Amino acid sequence: MPERPVKVLIAKPGLDGHDRGAKVLARGLRDEGFEVVYTGLRQTPEMIVTAALQEDVDVVGLSILSGAHMTLLPKVTHGLREAGLDDVLVTAGGIIPDDDIPALMDAGISRVFGPGTTIGEVADYIRANVRRDDGG
């Protein structure tokens, strides 16, 4: 039986209305062989956790440009832990100041990708760090 592709949820938490980068990433990761689910704009942390649970994802990628990353992203990682999704790799991207990255990593974000990151860099990071139950 062939191994299923890594499943990635791309989510836009909060009131950020800009999703071009998230859509480019979703398409690029799909072209890299990942299965990708894009939640759309204006997702609450609870909505993101519910989608991750329902879709049985391996990775949650959070795209945020609004400046609310220090509030919203820890709520997502906390919600994932509460839902028993401790094994889901959580990454973030967007406009996030370098000074905020250590606190986000302490909250459970495994990596923050800034402007200029290539799709290949994101794909390579996911492949190297994803934990899967099916042996992949």
pLDDT, tens digit, 9 for 90 and up, residues 18-77? 899 999 999 999 999 999 999 999 999 999 999 999 999 999 999 999 999 999 999 999
Residue 20 belongs to a domain? yes
* Owner of token pair 């290539």: 118
CATH of residue 11's domain is 3.40.50.280
Query: Structural domain tally of the chain?
Result: 1
Cβ contact 93:60 at 8 Å: no
DSSP state of 66: S
pLDDT, tens digit, 9 for 90 and up, residues 75-132? 999 999 999 999 999 999 999 999 999 999 999 999 999 999 999 999 999 999 998 7
pLDDT band for position 8 (cuts 50, 70, 90)? very high
Residue 1 belongs to a domain? no
pLDDT band for position 134 (cuts 50, 70, 90)? low
Residue 71 belongs to a domain? yes
Residue 72 belongs to a domain? yes
Residue 37 belongs to a domain? yes
Residue 120 belongs to a domain? yes
How does strand 35-38 pair with strand 59-64? unpaired
Domain of 122, in residue numbers: 7-127
pLDDT at 136 over 60: no
Q: Residue 48 phi/psi, 5° resolution?
A: -65, -45
Tell me how crowded residue 124 is: count the other CB atoms within 10 A of its CB: 12
Show Cβ contacts of residue 59 under 8 Å, excluding neighbours closer than 6 positions. Answer: 6, 7, 8, 9, 88, 89, 90, 91, 126, 130
Residue 68 belongs to a domain? yes
Residue 2 belongs to a domain? no
